[in-house]
Structure 1
């Protein structure tokens, strides 16, 4: 957040993939990127399969995330960002990109004077257009190393596992707000540490484990309804 921005009275944290938006941004963008940079259909299929293999059981999520981002080594950050905007524009025009009920909640929090923060294992090429459209105030995400405007393929900061809650906690402390006054939205059990950090957690979607947590703790649930 800009240094000159006055500290908000509270924060509202939003997971992105399958919470604020209906898809997994990293993989969906990667599919778009492969076509945009001119890979043949056969090569696209091979690289897509390799990327999705990183989600297979037994692969630690943080390690899979790190290996995924190696695929952008050697590409210019500006070029990747340009493709990220084109991917977002295409997806938005197709409809159904955002969960309308979650996007509406984000905008209500902003209207009420809270700062809204996207928290995601994805990276800026995907998330900056999402944040701009949604009107989010800040983005906490996986940060990639770059040298001379080119991605090296290394990850400087991961937002997988406990990374979301840790970064949210650091921001809460930095801004001097009360965690009890903050809100958080998530769809997956990996978001539970973030949700339990704040005083107002909200479960999104139909994940059975998350629904059980919501029922046990009296948390509200949003269905996650795709907007047209």
Structure 2
């Protein structure tokens, strides 16, 4: 089984929602598990912040991983993503990752097929250094400046 991890910031994701939904459809058609990685902030004084919408992009994920950014200040890959891959019996080399922000490196560094959305400078730099594909978009219409490559079929 394969999985596609989507670790996206909402303020950016709506700019390329059309292409994102196309990728989701391709992965779903290929039988891939859809995993949404969301960030939920906790504060010491107020307890849990207001609840996070677990499917804000309406992609219908099979699994939602909730990340606590304060627990992941080391810069190392998050235990949550690694643990999900292990518990679901997935081969990391067959997993895809999509991110549009520097914190998304937490996901991209543990999957075999990382893909970078948008124009985050740090993420673009790492993608260039590691040879990761970048999906660039021309604007809010979601039309790609360079079309995303097709999702390869599952073996």
TM over 0.5: yes
From the CA coordinates, give the structure whose radius of gyration is larger.
1
**Alignment match of 2:102 (pick from 189, 206, 214):** 189
The C-alpha deviation readout for 1:129-184, integer Å capped at 9, x for no partner, is 426x2121111115xxxxxxxxxxxxxxx255369732111011001110010011
Partners of 1:172 and 1:10 lie apart in 2 by: 10
| Residue 15 to residue 101, structure 1, CA distance change in 2 (3 Å) | same
Partners of 1:217 and 1:190 lie apart in 2 by: 16
| Residue 137 to residue 219, structure 1, CA distance change in 2 (3 Å) | same
How many residue pairs match? The answer is 130
Q: Which residue of 2 aligns with 1:114?
A: 32
TM-score normalized by structure 1?
0.49
The C-alpha deviation readout for 1:58-86, integer Å capped at 9, x for no partner, is xxxxxxxxxxxxxxxxxxxxxxxxxxxxx
| Residue 20 to residue 138, structure 1, CA distance change in 2 (3 Å) | farther
| Residue 19 to residue 105, structure 1, CA distance change in 2 (3 Å) | farther
Partners of 2:99 and 2:116 lie apart in 1 by: 5
Q: Which residue of 1 aligns with 2:145?
A: none
| Residue 164 to residue 109, structure 1, CA distance change in 2 (3 Å) | farther
| Residue 204 to residue 101, structure 1, CA distance change in 2 (3 Å) | same
Q: Is the 8 A contact 1:214 1:221 kept in 2?
A: yes
| Structure ranking higher in helix proportion | 1
TM-score normalized by structure 2?
0.70
1:221 matches 2:134: yes
C-alpha displacement at 1:126, in angstroms? Answer: 3.9
Partners of 2:13 and 2:3 lie apart in 1 by: 19
| Residue 182 to residue 167, structure 1, CA distance change in 2 (3 Å) | same
| Residue 141 to residue 122, structure 1, CA distance change in 2 (3 Å) | same
1:127 matches 2:53: yes
1:13 matches 2:1: no
Q: Aligned Cα RMSD in Å?
A: 2.8
| Residue 107 to residue 164, structure 1, CA distance change in 2 (3 Å) | farther
Gaps of 5+ in 2: 42-49, 143-155
